[in-house]
Structure 1
């Protein structure tokens, strides 16, 4: 088979055209799992079929890849949705497999999460998020908790989650930061962590109901009417999710992610005494990611963003800020 156009790492390419091959890791071949996609490898500069769609993967497949020293496999763009579903369905096995380098597990997690989050935030669909997508998001977060609690996970994940202007990428990053920070002091309550993780990844979904051009400008430069529109997105988010069986903690995260410790936030102006600790962590991680992603103007370094947040004095819970800084420092992400 002759060479074909190739793309970079899977989930970053969006919808793939049929003549594109997407680079994937050979570690993603899980023995005893059937792939709903064909796999290709590169030999002597040419791409050749390695495994046919629907073929059962075996230990022999994995051993052969190791002997050949294969660094990358390829999936057709038209098969990428099936590959992403395969990752989502098997992510727990992948994340718990200590024979797979942590960086490769982080890459698999990112590809699976980007795929499901992109679909949930797809404005071309009749509903931004339906029950099927909700179940996939919930399962993925539940399967990810143990991995996100690792001291070395955030450093590896940071390579994948820090870039991109799309709402769903911001949601993924805020979810990772929020759950990772919560894991530093919540050890046993996995139901709470999953509920908050869902709220974090969906916190900005209400923005899909608003004119997108208002989000290309700095908030301070908007007219009063446009500022009021922006401030309506938490309530719109809760409304969009009203048909889903969301727990109270998830709804609180969506509704209160712009509240502040000193009562200067919106939509309710609640003070710290009225806000659960997980909402305080989420609101903090939301601003931090906005600043370091450049969504609030100039893209700040982590150090600059944390310095700016500290300068806001009473706006954020000091203990939660200290916990976030500790988590970022362990991942070597504070400079």
Structure 2
């Protein structure tokens, strides 16, 4: 099996000759287990043939045979891809802990699974994007990802997949990865807190779903006073959106305080640094860094430029947390 692209959230599609859309997936994304909700196909002689039937037990022998055949990709029907994505999410711990899978491929698998879940959580067309079921799936995915996210080499590989895109959910994933990896540098053992903060990071902008989308397509300093006040309401709105969920206090604090500043000039409460927990300070910093390097509010900055700008605003951010973020980025060779 080669180290080849996986489904990429449905981007790689083929046709089986009968008009049925197919989605290309990596063999690495299938672990020995019972295949539920989807069948697996492989390409032979230019044609797609059934390899594992829906509900069939996919074994180690299946995977070994794929390697012997030199199979780089498997395929699932587009109509069944949602079931395949759910399968990957439910087995993410086994996939992330499998040292036989290259780190880069594990990063791709993790990105595909997380993007699919986060996109659904931020879908404006759904009446309740984040319900208890989706919340639990997000929590489980973060909990099962902690060991992988704490690896020194994981951030470098993940950065290839998480640094692009301006959608709210893409920004949330970027902030979550940066925040958790920064916190892992000094609180790796506190998994409950890391999961709670990870959920707060990925959901921190959920309140924006309650506001008109067009105000977020403009630079903040060009908005009217009324629109600025609307924008500043999104942290509190986010807590409201999540009020029916069994969220830990740390998660709610991350959602509510992610725009506060050390000097008290942030919003919505104007809390100063001595009133903010360290994990919130990490989220505040990583939120700003991801915004600058993603280019969501202007020119896209390089990591070096973004860190320099943050350093120049010493009164706004926790400088000890900035040092930790820089160390994490330097280990991943991501500071230039």
> If the TM-score is normalised by the length of the shorter chain, which range does it land in?
over 0.9
Offset from partner CA, 1:256-309 (integer Å, 9 cap, x none): 000011111100111100000000000110011111111020111111111111
Distance in 1 between residues matched to 2:8 and 2:48, nearest whole Å: 17
Mapping of 1:79-228 within 5 angstroms?
79-228=80-229
Mapping of 1:295-306 within 5 angstroms?
295-306=296-307
Match of 1:72 in 2: 73
Is the partner of 1:10 in helix, strand or coil? coil
Distance apart, 1:8 and its partner CA: 7.2
Q: TM-score, normalised by structure 2?
A: 0.94
Query: Retained in 2: the 8 A contact 1:35–1:56?
Result: no
Query: Retained in 2: the 8 A contact 1:11–1:110?
Result: no
Is the partner of 1:53 in helix, strand or coil? coil
Match of 1:249 in 2: 250
* Worse-matched range after superposition: 103-112 or 212-221: 103-112
Offset from partner CA, 1:76-124 (integer Å, 9 cap, x none): 2111100110011111011111111111111111111111111111111
Query: Retained in 1: the 8 A contact 2:122–2:206?
Result: yes
Match of 2:290 in 1: 289
Query: Retained in 2: the 8 A contact 1:209–1:236?
Result: yes
Is the partner of 2:75 in helix, strand or coil? strand
RMSD: 1.9
Q: TM-score, normalised by structure 1?
A: 0.94
Match of 1:3 in 2: none
Query: Retained in 1: the 8 A contact 2:239–2:256?
Result: yes
Distance apart, 1:13 and its partner CA: 4.1
Match of 1:238 in 2: 239
Match of 1:10 in 2: 8
Mapping of 1:312-327 within 5 angstroms?
312-327=313-328
Distance apart, 1:46 and its partner CA: 3.0
- Note closer, same or farther for the CA distance 1:191–1:55 as it changes in structure 2 (3 Å cut): same
Distance apart, 1:252 and its partner CA: 0.2
Query: Retained in 1: the 8 A contact 2:13–2:21?
Result: no
Distance apart, 1:19 and its partner CA: 3.8
- Note closer, same or farther for the CA distance 1:89–1:210 as it changes in structure 2 (3 Å cut): same
Is the partner of 1:157 in helix, strand or coil? helix
